[in-house]
Structure 1
Amino acid sequence: MTKDQQAPKRFLAIVEEIRSIIEEEQIKIGEKLPSERSLSERLEVGRPTIREALRSMELLGLIETRRGEGTFLADFKRHQLVEVLSTFILQRQQSVDDVRKTRRMHERAAISEICRNEAAAKLPVWESLYAQVLHEGAVWREDVMREMLVASENRLSLKIWFLVKQYDQIHYDALSTEEEAEPLAQLLINLGLQNEQQALTHYEKWVDIIERESRE
């Protein structure tokens, strides 16, 4: 296994180690966590890695950061969604696969919803994104995914997608590549034509490329 392939597991391990520190030191809701510097020294990893792990925990509502004060343990038990996600995301390496499957599930559901809703399929955003791919050769990957989730008009699905995307560590925050152009263009075309099966087929081809890049 390469160093890059080990990265997701190491990331999840760091999050779990931070949770262990919280339990061992019996840090209560509202109390302050050790500083980034302290965590970095104790876990023997760089501060940017600690910062990213804390940011991810904050997205799940497990902790909260107060500017100029530090990081504090949040009352995450109030949020059922947080409990469900933290159970699956923060426990084992197997959860990486669960996260990826969950992300894809929400993306496919959004595509199906758009293709079954004429108003959503006729939104000008699909032509606009297609034009970017055709004339500029690239588009921001996350723009496409986010627009699809928004167009599906499922706010809960959108929220879950943002959370699982963070833990999946897929490279959505980048411009599409030349290899992606064909399946991505066909996905956008078939969204507008309400061709659900074709749209899903090209979506799978497109995301396979992105996931392969994320593993390399």
Structure 2
Amino acid sequence: MMDMTQPKKRFIEIVQQLRVLIREEKIEAGGKLPSERVLSERLQVGRSAVREALRSLELLGLIETKHGGGTFLSASPQHKLIEVLATFIMDDERALSDVEKTRSLHEREAIRVVCQKEKLRNLPVWDSLFIQLEITNNSLRNDVMREIMIASGNRLALRIWFQLEAYSGNKFSGKVTQQEKTNVLTLLKAIQLGLQEDALEAYEQWRQQL
């Protein structure tokens, strides 16, 4: 079995190296970061790894990418979160449990929000997920939860969720199995019907299967 912890540890190292570089270069809010090529050379990692780290930081609002202009440290106070982020991920082993619990809190709240609003319950995405599960049998676990998070409409929660997903190990990676399908289908149907408690129960049973 492939060890998924190694890529994640490497990712964490890159983020930490970026933090040091920003401090040493005295890059202020709104300041421009070196290009992907330069970062790749200075950090001695592949450009794809640098690109993935930058994408994650952008999702969190720590950096901004301007088309044709480069990458900049966020001009908002959010850029200070890079210190918090780096400190948190320093102890990956201890933080993993907290990451999973925090992710679950965001997912449960998103399920509640969607169940409570008729407009969100009637989004066509739920039927699309049903078709994927029933006909193509090709649904990814993270796809299901991502659509629920997106549907809830909380952009900050979605940004946080993307980061939690990146650090939460491989528990939700891969396809929905036949054993899980019943709970996932029940979750989606309960969402469409606005049955909040049934949806949350199906969600918890699904998590216990992973």
Alignment of 1:19 onto 2:19 = yes
When normalised by structure 1's length, the TM-score is 0.72
For the residues of structure 1 that align with 2:4 and 2:129, how far apart are their CA atoms?
A: 31
For the residues of structure 2 that align with 1:206 and 1:153, how far apart are their CA atoms?
A: 23
Q: CA deviation at 1:153?
A: 4.6
Q: CA deviation at 1:54?
A: 1.6
The within-5 A match list for 1:1-16 is 3-16=3-16
Q: In the alignment, which residue of structure 1 is the partner of 2:134? A: 134
The within-5 A match list for 1:156-171 is 156-168=156-168
Report how many aligned residue pairs link the two structures: 205
The within-5 A match list for 1:70-81 is 70-77=70-77, 79=78
Q: CA deviation at 1:20?
A: 0.4
For the residues of structure 2 that align with 1:25 and 1:163, how far apart are their CA atoms?
A: 25
- Cα pair distance change 1:190/1:18, threshold 3 Å: same
For the residues of structure 1 that align with 2:110 and 2:29, how far apart are their CA atoms?
A: 36
For the residues of structure 2 that align with 1:208 and 1:44, how far apart are their CA atoms?
A: 40
* Local SS of the residue matching 1:187: helix
Q: CA deviation at 1:15?
A: 0.3
- Structure 1: segments with no counterpart, 5+ residues: none
The one-letter code of the counterpart of 1:70 is G
For the residues of structure 1 that align with 2:71 and 2:119, how far apart are their CA atoms?
A: 44
Q: In the alignment, which residue of structure 1 is the partner of 2:54? A: 54
Q: Check conservation: 1:187, 1:200, Cα contact below 8 A.
A: yes
Q: Check conservation: 1:56, 1:167, Cα contact below 8 A.
A: no
Q: Check conservation: 1:15, 1:53, Cα contact below 8 A.
A: yes
For the residues of structure 2 that align with 1:27 and 1:127, how far apart are their CA atoms?
A: 47
For the residues of structure 2 that align with 1:201 and 1:161, how far apart are their CA atoms?
A: 21
For the residues of structure 2 that align with 1:150 and 1:48, how far apart are their CA atoms?
A: 26
For the residues of structure 2 that align with 1:114 and 1:104, how far apart are their CA atoms?
A: 15
The one-letter code of the counterpart of 2:86 is L
* Local SS of the residue matching 1:102: helix
Q: CA deviation at 1:18?
A: 0.9
For the residues of structure 2 that align with 1:30 and 1:117, how far apart are their CA atoms?
A: 38
Alignment of 1:89 onto 2:51 = no
The one-letter code of the counterpart of 1:102 is T
- CA shift digits 1:129-168 (9 cap, x unpaired): 3233122223354553344234445454344434543554
For the residues of structure 1 that align with 2:148 and 2:118, how far apart are their CA atoms?
A: 14
- Per mean C-alpha deviation after superposition, the further-off stretch among 166-175 and 135-144 is 166-175
Q: Check conservation: 1:88, 1:95, Cα contact below 8 A.
A: no
For the residues of structure 2 that align with 1:207 and 1:42, how far apart are their CA atoms?
A: 41
Give percent identity, aligned residues only: 44
For the residues of structure 1 that align with 2:125 and 2:31, how far apart are their CA atoms?
A: 45
- CA shift digits 1:65-88 (9 cap, x unpaired): 3444433333242x4xx645x454
- Cα pair distance change 1:42/1:205, threshold 3 Å: farther
The one-letter code of the counterpart of 1:161 is W
Q: Check conservation: 1:150, 1:158, Cα contact below 8 A.
A: yes
Q: CA deviation at 1:191?
A: 2.4
- CA shift digits 1:166-204 (9 cap, x unpaired): 554768786544443222112112323444343223323
Q: Check conservation: 1:138, 1:178, Cα contact below 8 A.
A: no
For the residues of structure 2 that align with 1:66 and 1:152, how far apart are their CA atoms?
A: 27
When normalised by structure 2's length, the TM-score is 0.73
